[in-house]
Amino acid sequence: MAKVLVLLSVFLLWAPALFSNETEDRKRELARLKSQAAQKENELKKYREAEKQISREISDLESRRREAERKKNKVEADISYIEQSLLSTADKRAVLKKSMPLWQRVVLAELDAYYFTPRCYDCPGGYSLEEDIFVDRMITHKAAFTAAMDKEQRLTDKQILTYEAKNKQLQERSSKLEEEQGVITTRFRKKKSALDVTKRKAAEVRKEINELNRSAEALNNLLAKFERTRKAQDAKASAQKTAGAKKSASGGPKIDAAPHSLPWPVNGKVISKFGKEYRADLNTWIFRDGIKIAAQRGQEVRAAEEGSVIYAGPFRSYGNVVILDHGKGFFSIYGFLQDIKAAVGDKLPRQGVVGSAGPDTQTSSGTGRYAVYFEIRQGTVAVDPLAWLK
Do 248 and 376 touch, CB atoms closer than 8 A? no
More confident position, 136 or 348: 348
Cα→Cα distances 61→71, 182, 197, Å: 15, 12, 18
User: Per mean pLDDT, which range of 160-174, 222-236, 315-329 is the poorest?
Assistant: 222-236
Q: Which of 305, 286, 301 is nearest to 216 (CA)?
A: 286
Cα→Cα distances 324→96, 211, 257, 293, 319, Å: 105, 23, 15, 18, 16
- The number of angstroms, rounded, from the C-alpha of 10 to the middle of its chain's C-alpha atoms is 61
- At 10 the pLDDT is 43
| Predicted model pTM | 0.49
More confident position, 122 or 6: 122
Domains of the chain in start order, with CATH, are: 13-250 (1.10.287), 253-390 (2.70.70.10)
- At 56 the pLDDT is 80
- Mean per-residue pLDDT, 125-134: 62
pLDDT higher than threshold 60 for residue 270: yes
Q: How many helices (H) and strands (E) does the chain have?
A: 3, 12
User: Per mean pLDDT, which range of 48-52, 127-131, 147-151, 346-350 is the poorest?
Assistant: 127-131
pLDDT single digits (tens) 289-303:
899 999 999 999 999
- What are the two backbone dihedrals, phi and then psi, of residue 360, each rounded to the nearest 5 degrees? -85, 100
* Maximal CA-CA distance, the chain: 178
More confident position, 161 or 6: 161
Calculate the CA dihedral of residues 218, 223, 229, 233 and round it to 10 degrees. Answer: 180
pLDDT higher than threshold 90 for residue 124: no
- At 345 the pLDDT is 93
pLDDT single digits (tens) 61-116:
778 778 877 877 887 787 787 778 777 777 777 777 777 777 777 777 777 666 66
More confident position, 387 or 37: 387
- What are the two backbone dihedrals, phi and then psi, of residue 300, each rounded to the nearest 5 degrees? -65, 135
Compute how many other C-beta atoms are within 10 angstroms of the C-beta atom of residue 87: 11
- At 290 the pLDDT is 92
* Three-state secondary structure call for residue 6: helix
